[in-house]
Amino acid sequence: MASDLKEFDVVVVGGGMVGAALAAALGQAGRSVAVVEARLPPAFRAEDDYDLRVSAVNRASQHLLERVGTWPGIIERRASAYRCMRVWDACSAGEIEFDAVEMGEPDLGHIVENRVIQEALLERLEQLDSVRLLAPFGVETLELGERGVCVGLSDGRELQARLVVGADGARSRIRELAGMQRSARDYGQTAIVATVTTEVPHESTAWQRFLPTGPLAFLPLGDGRSSIVWSATGTEAERLLGLDDADFRHALARAADLRLGRITACSKRAGFPLVGGQSYPYVRARVALIGDAAHSIHPLAGQGVNLGFMDAAELAGVLDSSFRDPGSMLVLRRYERARRGENETMMRLMEGFRLLFGSQLPLLPWVRGRGMALTGTVQPLKRHLMAHALGTAGRRPELATPFVDPVR
Ligand SMILES: Cc1cc2nc3c(=O)[nH]c(=O)nc-3n(C[C@H](O)[C@H](O)[C@H](O)COP(=O)(O)OP(=O)(O)OC[C@H]3O[C@@H](n4cnc5c(N)ncnc54)[C@H](O)[C@@H]3O)c2cc1C
């Protein structure tokens, strides 16, 4: 770890999954970095039950986590590979299955607890001499100057840097202090999360059913249970959260079309109101936003943190390939140009899916059914969709590509 420095190349505010990944990439490249994190996760212990917050980590994100030396730390703790994905529509015969084998891949991704990813990344930061983790401290003030920034912490300390990165989530304080705007989109839905035991084994498959009130996903965990994300309209979610255990399990089994049989056990439940949005702009002189601070989307395709990881990979790559001042607009605009289009495309796609599956217009179930049947039979189209889910379609930041050891 760096000694008690007060001057850095970059201050990253938010040591969550995305901010910590950026700091690891920058630290590995020799940049001096301070990471300010308001709340550290409780230490992971193998005997702990699964946390309710999990993410489906795709292949591109896995490559980034491998390149920053964190993937082994994640696997050592706890991660569950899933090999298939089965998606079906509650209002039509539409159904489609994606299998890793069709892509010549060992799996389609991993279900990992958010706290596991964060802890493994923070452990990596501890090993990097040029990175200093400051926690638990919040950021209170931000002064933007021509040549640098001054970040004021909750304990009164001040950090100088040439660039500050807001990786502090959807309610970003850095975005607010820097006077950057955000368009907010209330989806009118709440995502209910819980860990459940199903009568029928999940077969390392992610199951997703589109209901008129929102999508329901079962994400397979390593111990045979599943982590659910059940998005429902506000009033329906409130009703579901208020049910007693037996009634909730019964409602869940029926909502899943009994594909996984009865729900024989369910953990405590939590609800997350779903609000999407995007920042305008992502950058200004000496400030960049990444992850949920820059954009947040509906979790229906499990893409939020994966997009954030690509922001981190892109920004680290842009800073690494330039000899210029890292806070200059010439450098930062390259990051925004590369990421905004990608993120907007994914946001529009998710919005399209949400409206397509949420609408009750008379012909739409038929259209969905036909569309899913067709997609299942047209291999190039199916492979294209799978490549998108894996994060391997189109251009990717170099840090999100497989690492090839030059010595081998
Ligand atoms: C129910 C649900 C399911 C989801 N499932 C998936 C999925 O399967 N796959 C997927 O890719 N995405 C998923 N997402 C989205 C994903 O959780 C987010 O995109 C991701 O957490 C964003 O990471 P982040 O690091 O940008 O922000 P956060 O996770 O919000 O981290 C921000 C960090 O900044 C810190 N912080 C905040 N303010 C300050 C401050 N002022 N000073 C210092 N530190 C501060 C916080 O303590 C936190 O550690 C899901 C979201 C929901 C709601």
Q: Tens digit of pLDDT for each residue in 49-105?
A: 999 999 999 999 999 999 999 999 999 999 999 999 999 988 888 889 999 999 899
For ligand 1, say whether the CB of 308 is within 6 Å of any of its atoms: yes
Ligand 1 atom having least distance to the Cα of 229: 1
Centre of ligand 1 to C-alpha 75, Å, is 20
Our separate counts of H helices and E strands in the chain read: 11, 20
Domain membership of residue 88 (yes or no) is no
CA distance 208 to 111: 14
pLDDT of residue 380: 83
pLDDT of residue 306: 96
For ligand 1, say whether the CB of 14 is within 6 Å of any of its atoms: yes
Q: Which letter, b or e, does each residue of 192-211 get, where b requires 16 or more Cβ atoms within 10 Å of its Cβ?
A: bbbbbbbeeebebbbbbbbb
CA distance 212 to 297: 19
Looking at the fold, whether 222 and 330 belong to one and the same domain comes out as: no
For ligand 1, say whether the CB of 303 is within 6 Å of any of its atoms: yes
pLDDT of residue 323: 79
For ligand 1, say whether the CB of 311 is within 6 Å of any of its atoms: no
Looking at the fold, whether 256 and 281 belong to one and the same domain comes out as: no
Looking at the fold, whether 198 and 330 belong to one and the same domain comes out as: no
For ligand 1, say whether the CB of 41 is within 6 Å of any of its atoms: no
* Pocket perturbation via mutation, ligand 1, pick of 17, 112, 221 by most ligand atoms within 8 A of CB: 17
Out of 196-200, 297-301, 304-308, which region has the weakest mean confidence (pLDDT)?
Answer: 297-301
Segment 237-241 mean pLDDT = 97
168 contacts 14 by C-beta, under 8 angstroms: yes
Q: Could you tell me the pLDDT band of residue 408, with boundaries at 50, 70 and 90?
A: low
Which residue's CA is the closest to the ligand 1 atom numbered 39? Answer: 168
Ligand 1 atom having least distance to the Cα of 193: 1
Segment 116-123 mean pLDDT = 98
Look up the domain containing 252 and give its range. 188-274
- Say which CATH number the domain at 364 has: 3.50.50.60
Domain membership of residue 102 (yes or no) is no
Looking at the fold, whether 361 and 392 belong to one and the same domain comes out as: yes
Q: Per the confidence metrics, is the pTM higher than 0.85?
A: yes
Residue 360 has pLDDT above 70, yes or no: no
Looking at the fold, whether 257 and 302 belong to one and the same domain comes out as: no
pLDDT of residue 264: 98
- Say which CATH number the domain at 257 has: 3.30.9.10
Looking at the fold, whether 208 and 130 belong to one and the same domain comes out as: no
